[in-house]
Structure 1
Amino acid sequence: MDGGAVITEEDFITSVADALQYVSAYHSPDFIRALADALEAEESPAARDAIRQILISSRMSATDHRPICQDTGSANIFVELGVQAPIRWTRSLQDLCDEATRRAYLAEANPLRASIVADPIGMRKNTRDNTPAMVQVEVVAGARVDVTVSAKGGGSENKTKFAVLNPSDSVADWVVETVAKLGAGWCPPGMIGLGIGGSVDKAMAMAKKVLNDPLDIAQLRARGATTPEERLRLELYDRLNKLGIGAQGLGGTVTVLDVKVATFPTHAASLPVALIPNCAATRHAHVSLDGSGPARLDPPDLSLWPDLGGAVAEGRRIDLDALDQPTLDSLRPGDRLLLSGRLFTGRDAAHKRMLDYIARGEALPVNLRGRAIYYVGPVDPLPGEVIGPAGPTTATRMDKFTPGLLAATGLKLMIGKAERGPEAMQAIREHGAVYAVAVGGAAYLVSKAIRAARCVAWEDLGMEAIFEFEVRDMPVTVAVDTQGASIHRTGPEKFRR
């Protein structure tokens, strides 16, 4: 390296900002190959359709450089700082990472959704630029600064689990039992990251970082395991896929694409285990700085994606402007629908505010009687777009609001992702409503079905405001029917081995 080379603050900021923009639109080649293999191996028609939609949407995102998922995630930045790296920085590493995040998420050419809220136990006001970044730093040997960035969505992050097992306990058994209880909110198929050993904080940090390793389970299966970590990976890969959870929890033979394991020495009395899932919107990239200027990332070749066309699978067409009880009663779990007409959007904040209005006896700003609501927080549109990527959020977060909302408004159709809990299931059955799922990880594809969009209430909530969408042939699958039957129960039961 040239003795006069310097890694400047601007080189670092530019490289990290570019990497965050890069991962918003591009799956890594190893993930594309693994998902294409999963499509070939999957036995469940519903799960195959979900994987197909994810792959089609992924290629569309890469072509147009638009977000893979509407949840463009928190910015997770892992920095390995060489002790001999020629840095001339005056600002803190957190400040540099925050500036890079701000640039990436506010970029005019591809604005990303700001999801970070300040004051987490107070007003939870959105920071509007997705800062602060979540930064991990390690000082290492060498003269380089290596950075891995990942965008971690809330759906998979919320399914993180941690336990301190007895040293004699089976890690594999705990992982299988834990994943079986996670539900589909983490948007399988994806990866499971495990941090084993160390301390409580060390195990969690290892589990998060190891998710950025390449997907290589196919190569490992071909050559065989040589370490305890590799043997655990192979055992868990087989056992987790035999759970029958499948893509989006619809039931199937492919639930995980890989299992990653990191270990560290630990106290003799302890066995800390951290489990973090990564969803079908897995997004990460690595850059290295040596003083020769900002890093460069080249887009993956479009030939990596299988040619699946651009159309979604066929389904029964439903007019959202003419929903009636006979139509709703005729729907069954697993039915594929193509929705057309008007629907409203609403997430946690909007649901809470609606219930507050109802409790005070105030009229809602929208009439939900006989209508549909979509649990989504879309990305802002570019000029010429109706809306940005608009995939579903996890429906279970709305469960506690569902009984009151159905009773007070006459709402009839809810659309989200993952299963519903007992409270919501009972309310759906009592009020003759239906719950359907859109494919998490196919946000850009879903957005193409939205032909008009306007904010109709509570703009102050940002991406959680209530919008009215006009949709045409929006693909969904019936998950819970008016009798309370659920595909998230019957699907996995069918494929469990």
Structure 2
Amino acid sequence: MSDASFETACHRSVRALQLAALPLERLDLPPPTILDTPAGRFYRLDPSCLERLAAITWRRLQFGFPLAYLQELASLLTSPSASDLDRFVLRQLLANARASADGIYPTCQDTGTAILYGWKGDRIITDSPDDDRFHFERGMLSAWRDSKLRSSQLLPLAGAAERNSGDNSPLAAELYTTKGDCYELILLAKGGGSANKSRLWQETKALLEPARLRAFLADAINDLGVSACPPYGLALAIGGQSAEQCLSAVKLASLGALDALPTAAGDGPWRDLVTEALLLELAASSGWGAQFGGTAMARSARVIRLPRHAASLPVGLGLSCAAHRQLHARIGPDGLWLESVAEAADIDRLLADVDRSLAGGRQPQANSGRPADVSACPPDSATPATGAVGGHRSAADLPAVNLDDWTPGAPLTAALTDLRAGQLVRLSGSVILARDAAHARLRRLLAEGKSLPDWARFPLYYASPTETQEGCVIGSLGPTTARRMDGYVAELMQVGCGRLMLGKGERGTACAEACREHGGMYFAAVGGAAALGARDHVSAALLLDWPELGMEAVRRVTLKDLPALVAIDAQGNDYYNRLPTNAPEKETP
């Protein structure tokens, strides 16, 4: 009999990581009590401990990162191969982690779907008539309520109707029973942007030939783009006894939960280190970089090989974004333990180390992510700096663009039309927060022959914040994936609306064509830096319209020096289409 069970291999990996590799700290919660019976020794767990553990964990992961993760970002930032634009984005992400560590602003505005994996030993007994998921969800709800996190879950109603659950329920939980006296857990918050990049293909054995696999993976990496907030933790699964098992392996691998699998082929699941190195190579050479072009598209890669049916070769690809929010927890006879996160002082030291490294001679390399026609961009704005280190400029030195100098609905000013794709600028002035639901409603108004609200002529920022903490202007605020709004752009521009857009990631050709035809522009902000965006770059906020849309209600926000990339200029030039990946000479006929 082969010991090749995927479920068993997953649990072994999680247990090995928790016992040997992860920094777990004991929580001040009562341990399980001993219960001796004729059937042996059991451990009785007070259900309130599950609730408190869940509440503590989900709050901790919304405001902090494990130090090892931040060290990965720092390593990318100081790498000799990093482009100037890579360094700029990575410095923003580290500064965002520091801003969030104060416990006021969550790291990302998309505080995500609450997800839990658990492997419960059969010697652990929860002293409750309710199942464990009930108690974990109560703790999750407490964390969302007390920390003013964003409720993002929509419940299906009849037809196309939906409503927000209002409290981010339901919890997505997968709980398994195992042998033993320990309860291993992984709790996470998964945002929509990274989840939307999950892919599944049904292939054949021919794909395993090295040349074909390399070409397949190169296309898959190129198709990911940057709208899910790199640097990514890439996860690939090859095989699986079902499509569901393949994608489950992708999800767990993206969490690092399968890191302790064997690294040599055997009877069961194993980590393919050779293909992991290939993924990192392909990501670095793609040109996408850490959002704005360069080499830092990926911070890690995991490739899992799985048993499969002879007639099927499922292949799954997924990722974890820059808002890498998951923590391990363990319950056993010795108490309740939770993975630690970096304190503010730890991040300060890490940033100081980065500064010393750059000042010590690791100068930024030529920006591999700049537009192909470099002459179209002023030299000093085509190669932005990462901070006031070693003579490099800070974000405050970027060219300033005051959006209030433009009359909404009028042709763009010369100050805007003179900007070229590939420039970094500082945006200030009034913008309207309007994303998916608001755009759908605007389209419905047009279809009904009705006029659009006056605010639709203002610059549209595709974003929705977390709830506002007392004494703050706004909750965490960062861009959502702009490409989801592509289908609305031409319709809005035809009636003088939505000419200036702000979001994250690349757009489709329809957006660039609309900008060229109607004189519009699209700016891309750094994704995954919502705490920094709210704390440092918003000076005023007002609920303006459609409050019934909940998190997607329309708001007017005043920006203050928000760094952004001119991604599509008023001539329709698309910066992202000029990266090495998408250059015409590299396209396959």
Q: TM-score, normalised by structure 1?
A: 0.92
Separation in structure 1 between the aligned mates of residue 192 and residue 476 of structure 2, nearest angstrom: 16
- Contact 1:7–1:290 under 8 Å retained in 2: no
The 5 Å alignment of 1:258-273 reads 258-273=300-315
Instruction: Tell me which residue corresponds to 1:209.
Output: 252
- Displacement of 1:152 in angstroms is 0.9
Separation in structure 2 between the aligned mates of residue 385 and residue 228 of structure 1, nearest angstrom: 46
Instruction: Tell me which residue corresponds to 1:178.
Output: 220
Q: 1:295 to 1:240 in 2, by over 3 A?
A: same
Separation in structure 1 between the aligned mates of residue 111 and residue 482 of structure 2, nearest angstrom: 18
**Is 1:312 matched with 2:350?**
no
- Displacement of 1:46 in angstroms is 2.0
Uncovered stretches (5+) of structure 2, i.e. residues with no partner:
1-31, 36-42, 264-269, 356-386, 389-393, 407-411
Instruction: Tell me which residue corresponds to 1:147.
Output: 185
**Is 1:389 matched with 2:476?**
yes
The 5 Å alignment of 1:273-312 reads 273-290=315-332, 294-296=336-338, 298-301=340-343, 302-304=345-347, 305-307=350-352, 312=395
Instruction: Tell me which residue corresponds to 2:47.
Output: 9
- Displacement of 1:442 in angstroms is 0.7
Q: 1:145 to 1:65 in 2, by over 3 A?
A: farther
- Displacement of 1:119 in angstroms is 0.7
**2:154 aligned counterpart, secondary structure:** coil
- Displacement of 1:493 in angstroms is 4.6
- Displacement of 1:468 in angstroms is 0.4
- Displacement of 1:433 in angstroms is 0.8
- Displacement of 1:76 in angstroms is 1.4
Separation in structure 2 between the aligned mates of residue 95 and residue 300 of structure 1, nearest angstrom: 30
Instruction: Tell me which residue corresponds to 2:571.
Output: 483
Mean alpha-carbon deviation: is it higher for 112-121 or for 158-167?
112-121
Separation in structure 1 between the aligned mates of residue 395 and residue 182 of structure 2, nearest angstrom: 46
**1:135 aligned counterpart, secondary structure:** strand
Separation in structure 2 between the aligned mates of residue 492 and residue 254 of structure 1, nearest angstrom: 14
Q: TM-score, normalised by structure 2?
A: 0.78
Separation in structure 1 between the aligned mates of residue 206 and residue 295 of structure 2, nearest angstrom: 31
Return the letter of the residue paired with 2:49: D
Instruction: Tell me which residue corresponds to 1:325.
Output: 413
- Displacement of 1:211 in angstroms is 1.6
Separation in structure 2 between the aligned mates of residue 363 and residue 239 of structure 1, nearest angstrom: 48
Separation in structure 2 between the aligned mates of residue 66 and residue 141 of structure 1, nearest angstrom: 40
- Displacement of 1:205 in angstroms is 0.9
**Is 1:112 matched with 2:149?**
yes
Q: 1:7 to 1:291 in 2, by over 3 A?
A: farther
Aligned residues: 485
Instruction: Tell me which residue corresponds to 1:244.
Output: 287
Cα displacement string for residues 143-202 of structure 1 (whole angstroms, at most 9, x for unaligned residues): 111110111111111011001210231345433211211221221111111233221111
Of 122, 136, 154, the residue aligned with 1:97 is: 136
Mean alpha-carbon deviation: is it higher for 300-309 or for 180-189?
300-309
- Displacement of 1:138 in angstroms is 2.3
Q: 1:263 to 1:18 in 2, by over 3 A?
A: farther
Separation in structure 2 between the aligned mates of residue 45 and residue 188 of structure 1, nearest angstrom: 15
Q: 1:123 to 1:93 in 2, by over 3 A?
A: farther
- Displacement of 1:469 in angstroms is 0.6
- Displacement of 1:300 in angstroms is 1.7
Separation in structure 2 between the aligned mates of residue 228 and residue 95 of structure 1, nearest angstrom: 34
Instruction: Tell me which residue corresponds to 2:453.
Output: 365
Q: 1:87 to 1:367 in 2, by over 3 A?
A: closer
Instruction: Tell me which residue corresponds to 2:267.
Output: none
Q: 1:494 to 1:306 in 2, by over 3 A?
A: farther
Instruction: Tell me which residue corresponds to 2:123.
Output: 84
**Is 1:465 matched with 2:547?**
no
Of 29, 35, 38, the residue aligned with 2:76 is: 38
Q: 1:318 to 1:423 in 2, by over 3 A?
A: same
**1:102 aligned counterpart, secondary structure:** helix
Of 98, 101, 107, the residue aligned with 1:59 is: 98
Separation in structure 2 between the aligned mates of residue 7 and residue 298 of structure 1, nearest angstrom: 23
Uncovered stretches (5+) of structure 1, i.e. residues with no partner:
221-226
- Displacement of 1:359 in angstroms is 2.4
Return the letter of the residue paired with 1:48: R
- Contact 1:418–1:437 under 8 Å retained in 2: yes
Instruction: Tell me which residue corresponds to 2:38.
Output: none
Of 187, 195, 199, the residue aligned with 1:157 is: 195
Q: 1:89 to 1:271 in 2, by over 3 A?
A: farther
- Contact 2:198–2:319 under 8 Å retained in 1: yes
**1:99 aligned counterpart, secondary structure:** helix
Return the letter of the residue paired with 1:229: D
Q: CA RMSD in A?
A: 2.4
Return the letter of the residue paired with 1:321: D
**2:162 aligned counterpart, secondary structure:** coil
**2:197 aligned counterpart, secondary structure:** coil
- Displacement of 1:252 in angstroms is 0.4
Separation in structure 1 between the aligned mates of residue 491 and residue 271 of structure 2, nearest angstrom: 51
- Contact 1:335–1:477 under 8 Å retained in 2: yes
Separation in structure 2 between the aligned mates of residue 340 and residue 16 of structure 1, nearest angstrom: 39
Separation in structure 2 between the aligned mates of residue 100 and residue 284 of structure 1, nearest angstrom: 16
- Displacement of 1:491 in angstroms is 3.0
Percent identity reads 31
**Is 1:138 matched with 2:183?**
no
- Displacement of 1:318 in angstroms is 1.2
Q: 1:251 to 1:290 in 2, by over 3 A?
A: same
Separation in structure 2 between the aligned mates of residue 291 and residue 384 of structure 1, nearest angstrom: 43
Instruction: Tell me which residue corresponds to 1:224.
Output: none
- Contact 1:46–1:334 under 8 Å retained in 2: no
- Contact 1:413–1:433 under 8 Å retained in 2: yes
Cα displacement string for residues 266-310 of structure 1 (whole angstroms, at most 9, x for unaligned residues): 112222111111111111101111256554554423324323679
- Contact 2:330–2:338 under 8 Å retained in 1: no
**1:265 aligned counterpart, secondary structure:** strand
Separation in structure 2 between the aligned mates of residue 98 and residue 483 of structure 1, nearest angstrom: 50
- Displacement of 1:89 in angstroms is 3.2
Q: 1:228 to 1:374 in 2, by over 3 A?
A: closer
- Displacement of 1:312 in angstroms is 3.2
Return the letter of the residue paired with 2:156: D
**Is 1:18 matched with 2:49?**
no
**2:425 aligned counterpart, secondary structure:** strand
**1:63 aligned counterpart, secondary structure:** coil
Separation in structure 1 between the aligned mates of residue 295 and residue 459 of structure 2, nearest angstrom: 32
- Contact 2:427–2:564 under 8 Å retained in 1: yes
Return the letter of the residue paired with 2:402: D
The 5 Å alignment of 1:326-345 reads 326-345=414-433
